[in-house]
Amino acid sequence: MNLSVLFDTPGPRGRVRNHLLTAVSVLVVGGIAYWVYLGFDAKGQFEGKIWEPFLDPYTWQTWILPGLAGTLRAAALAAVLALAFGAIFGLARLSDHAWIRIPAGLVVEVFRAIPLLLLIFFIFYLAPTVMGGGDYAFMAVVLGLTLYNGSVLAEVVRAGVLSVPKGQAEAAYAVGMRKNQVMRLVLLPQAVTAMMPAIVSQLVVLLKDTALGYIIAYVDLLNTGFKILPAVFFGSLIPAAIVIGIIYVGLNMALSYLAHWLERRSRRSRKTAAPPVAPPGAEAIGLRSGGGLDSTD
């Protein structure tokens, strides 16, 4: 019999009460869903004519697929740049030289503290003044995602390296390896395995955050599907929101499944002595990384 340390196992009356509360909750949620359905139906949101554009291949070829391509293009480039940024600054924060470690830590902490939307706005309105003409909507989205998510990934890299038991490095030094060899051949291969689930989880966040480009009129899935389409096909706002939402859910579920698969694989792997690093934002990350996120290190 499984026992819980968080609460006492309910008795017969407790189980009946829990079942009743569950049934009531289901009825309440069902009632709310039905009320929402009636509201949409009263406004004609389920009429076939306003759903017809989404059954037309022309709609997908002209608006939805180009918007999806814009989202994936910004997410792919920002992911590559954020991984490079995170690797460079994460390793820089582990440097023995204060003139490298302290500025790197300052950069990471500053860009982690600034809201991503503010970063995008700042880059979008500053870039034309500094650089002249160009596609600054794309630049602002990509650079903002790079700076914010790269700073988070820098902490993931730092935590991943610090999660490798110290005995691994000590053994490598004992056989005559230099510091760069220890990092490159011993610590990083094990750290990458441990932090892979957290990296993929942050990339899921990055993909979702591309929707912030809507604010500066970047041509992405949200902009074309939720702003342009309802203007072209009047009255199709709710259907557009549902279709675009399903596409986003599908993309994020695919990446989330990859993250869970990598986490299970890393837990079964015998190629590393480091425990898996928790996804960014989890309270357990400081525990799993042995204090790797403590800025006072």
pLDDT of residue 176: 74
**pTM (2 decimals)?**
0.74
pLDDT of residue 286: 42
The alpha carbon dihedral of 222, 225, 228, 230 has a sign of negative
Angle of the 188-209 helix axis to the 65-92 helix axis, nearest 10 = 140
pLDDT of residue 288: 40
pLDDT of residue 272: 57
Cβ atoms of 152 and 86 closer than 8 Å: yes
pLDDT of residue 28: 95
10 C-beta neighbours (distance < 10 Å), count = 11
pLDDT, tens only, 226-243: 878 777 777 677 888 888
- Residue 47 one-letter amino acid: E
Q: Which of 294, 297, 290 is nearest to 163 (CA)?
A: 290
Cβ atoms of 91 and 187 closer than 8 Å: no
Q: Which of 170, 212, 6, 202 is nearest to 85 (CA)?
A: 202
Report the alpha-carbon distance of residue 161 to residue 12 in Å, rounded.
50
pLDDT of residue 291: 42
pLDDT, tens only, 127-177: 777 776 667 889 999 999 999 999 999 999 888 888 777 777 767 777 777
Q: Which of 161, 219, 203, 222 is nearest to 186 (CA)?
A: 161
Residue that is written with structure tokens 């869970």 in the block: 260
Contacts made by residues 276-279, CB under 8 angstroms, sequence distance 24+: 276/194, 276/195, 276/197, 276/198, 277/156, 277/159, 277/160, 277/163, 277/194, 277/195, 277/197, 277/198, 278/198, 279/197, 279/198, 279/201, 279/202
Residues of the chain below pLDDT 50:
1-3, 283-297
Q: What domains does the chain contain, in order, with CATH numbers?
A: 53-164+194-288 (1.10.3720.10)
